[in-house]
A and B are shown apart, each in its own frame.
Chain A
């Protein structure tokens, strides 16, 4: 939903998400690689290869800006590095 509240277990809430609150390197890997099928909900998050590094940077800065009390801006160079270091599945 527009406010990030999600829809029960079907669409996990962004507002309460620990990933958004955590280190942005985890968030960028999550968006780029997605998640495998969750055994209890049966849902999987598809990988997103469409967004480029600039778009990802903007997206992550936006998410952290609206959901965190304080956040530091991340830069494209950092995103580039983190993407290269994402754990390969």
Chain B
């Protein structure tokens, strides 16, 4: 009896040590943001849903069909007078930095389905002068998009008293290949985005 007790403790201590040792090597990985569940012994990280969207060329877009990529996502609308131009300017910095890097895809989702049709998005992309292989402008069913913003931890809602009629955050979210949220930047703050470059590079090192 006594021996078994000691044995049990030894096994427990060994397990703890192993766990902590393995924890150490995980230190360098970027965090997984959002709720983490354990299902049947497996850790399940918060995952952004794979909903059906339409891009600026009317093509169907799904995160899961983009191949081996990480994503930088934000939410906007084309007639937004307040924060969107600032965030767009920062997204432009990201677009230029990762130009021709096939591993990175920028995604701007419109929250104004009424006004931002595919042709409006198309012209917006042209006016910005960006490579739409590198940066997609997406729309979808209204409730789906607001739910998606929620899953991306970006607040967005209709507010008639807000400039433009929508109140939303200027966050830029970093998504890994498995649609887990691994980091974010404040799109209205150029310094936040400069620091974000390092986070994106770290994820690229991790994933590839």
Given contacts A1-B85, A1-B89, contact A8 B123 (CB under 8 A): no
Which secondary structure dominates where chain A touches chain B?
Answer: loop
Within B80-127, the residues touching A (CB, 8 Å) are: 85-86, 88-89, 92, 120, 123-124, 126-127
Number of B residues contacting the other chain (C-beta, 8 Å)? 12
Within A3-50, the residues touching B (CB, 8 Å) are: 7-11, 41-43
Q: Is the CB of B85 within 8 A of A9?
A: no
Within B49-94, the residues touching A (CB, 8 Å) are: 85-86, 88-89, 92
Q: Is the CB of B128 within 8 A of A8?
A: yes
Q: B160: CB under 8 A from chain A?
A: no
Return the chain B residue nearest A38 by Cβ: B127
Q: Is the CB of B86 within 8 A of A10?
A: no
* CA of A10 to CA of B124, assembled, Å: 7
* CA of A76 to CA of B85, assembled, Å: 32
Q: Is the CB of A43 within 8 A of B85?
A: no
Q: B41: CB under 8 A from chain A?
A: no
Chain B residues whose CB sits within 8 angstroms of the CB of A1 once the complex forms: 85-86, 89
Q: List 6 A-B contacts (CB under 8 A).
A: A7-B92, A9-B127, A10-B127, A42-B120, A42-B123, A43-B127
Which residues of B line the A interface, CB within 8 A?
85-86, 88-89, 92, 120, 123-124, 126-129
Shortest beta-carbon contacts, A-B, top 8:
A9-B127, A10-B127, A8-B129, A8-B128, A42-B123, A41-B127, A7-B85, A7-B89
